[in-house]
């Protein structure tokens, strides 16, 4: 990430770095939050680069790259094997585990805000609920979850009322996490 070292050049605060993303971006934001200092995710950054983040916002993200229990999950695995990873999960399970936020959960995970549509057919809401439960059971930091009623995948692109609600909730979450860091107190849920 190197963002912390350079964020001041763009008007940001190096004392508070949050990452956010939707769908695949939510997957990547979650990985960024769960893999600080991991040399496999460092790329070309210097060994001493601070890759930690202070908060993660994931909107209808993908969290489990290992599950093949349903036809939908097997279709997703096939897509990953053919297009993204270009390796089979059966021969390279470590690659899929390394890229699975669910498998990377740890007690020092930063505060997370997960947002998911109740009617998402691309990434079923059960995956978000499972990730929330696992993260909440392990992390010492807050895990906030907002399930949007009657919303599908990419709901924020087609429904301005949902997008507005999410923007307000995300703003509150980030303000609270930032304030808790400044005051050195636990962050409260939204």
- Active site residues per annotation: 23, 120, 153
The Cα 78–Cα 84 span in angstroms is 10
If one counts every other C-beta atom within 10 angstroms of the C-beta of residue 34, the result is 25
Cβ 89 vs Cβ 81: under 8 Å:
yes
The Cα 188–Cα 177 span in angstroms is 8
Cβ 34 vs Cβ 104: under 8 Å:
yes
Residue 121's SS3 state is coil
Residue 145's SS3 state is strand
């Amino acid at each position: 990430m190197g963002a912390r070292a350079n964020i001041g050049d763009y008007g940001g605060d190096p004392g508070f770095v949050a990452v956010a993303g939707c769908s695949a971006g939510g997957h990547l934001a979650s990985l960024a939050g769960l893999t600080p200092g991991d040399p496999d995710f460092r790329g070309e950054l210097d060994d001493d680069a601070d890759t930690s983040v202070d908060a993660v916002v994931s909107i209808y993200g993908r969290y489990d790259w290992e599950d093949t229990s349903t036809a939908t999950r097997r279709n997703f695995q096939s897509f990953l094997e053919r297009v993204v990873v270009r390796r089979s999960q059966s021969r390279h399970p470590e690659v899929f585990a390394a890229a699975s936020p669910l498998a990377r959960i740890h007690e020092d995970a930063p505060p997370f805000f997960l947002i998911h549509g109740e009617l998402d057919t691309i990434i079923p809401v059960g995956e978000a609920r499972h990730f929330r439960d696992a993260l909440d059971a392990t992390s010492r930091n807050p895990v906030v979850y907002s399930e949007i009623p009657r919303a599908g995948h990419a709901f924020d692109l087609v429904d301005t009322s949902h997008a507005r609600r999410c923007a307000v909730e995300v703003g509150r979450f980030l303000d609270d996490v930032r304030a808790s860091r400044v005051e050195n107190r636990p962050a409260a849920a939204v």
